[in-house]
């Protein structure tokens, strides 16, 4: 793996956000950190990508948000999965598995 974080592939940000919220609610910076943790630092999600995605996902009914206090005593918006978000995580995971298997098969195919 390179020393610089990879750009997110189109369509993977939703999956990574949903996965990062599967265990507990988090604020935006917490989501970004969690994505870094679960991808072993391969992805660094910047606020300019993260917050529009969170807003879109909340509008879709996959997330709920509420205001709370962060670990450094600042006001922060916390996000959590809804029932629809949990269902969408399963859908996104299944789609990713199909895509990654298809790409792996294509790369192994003899030209």
List, in order of start, the domains of the chain with CATH numbers.
Answer: 12-108 (1.10.10.10)
Strands, sheet with 63-69, edge to edge from the N-terminal-most edge strand? 26-27, 75-81, 63-69
Q: What is the pLDDT of residues 33-65, one digit of tens each?
A: 999 999 999 999 999 999 999 999 999 999 999
Helix, strand or coil for residue 60? coil
Which tokens sit at 19? Answer: 């996965």
Residue 97 has pLDDT above 60, yes or no: yes
The answer to whether 18 and 85 have CB atoms below 8 angstroms apart is yes
| pTM of structure | 0.88
């Amino acid at each position: 793996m390179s020393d610089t974080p990879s750009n997110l592939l189109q369509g993977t940000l939703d999956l990574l956000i949903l996965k990062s919220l599967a265990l507990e609610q988090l604020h935006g910076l917490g989501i970004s950190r969690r994505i870094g943790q679960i991808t072993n630092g391969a992805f660094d999600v910047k606020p300019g990508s993260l917050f529009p995605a969170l807003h879109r996902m909340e509008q879709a009914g996959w997330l709920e948000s509420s205001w709370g206090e962060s670990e450094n005593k600042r006001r922060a918006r916390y996000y959590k999965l809804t029932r629809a978000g949990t269902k969408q995580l399963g859908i996104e995971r299944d789609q990713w598995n199909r895509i990654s298997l298809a790409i792996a098969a294509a790369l192994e195919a003899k030209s």
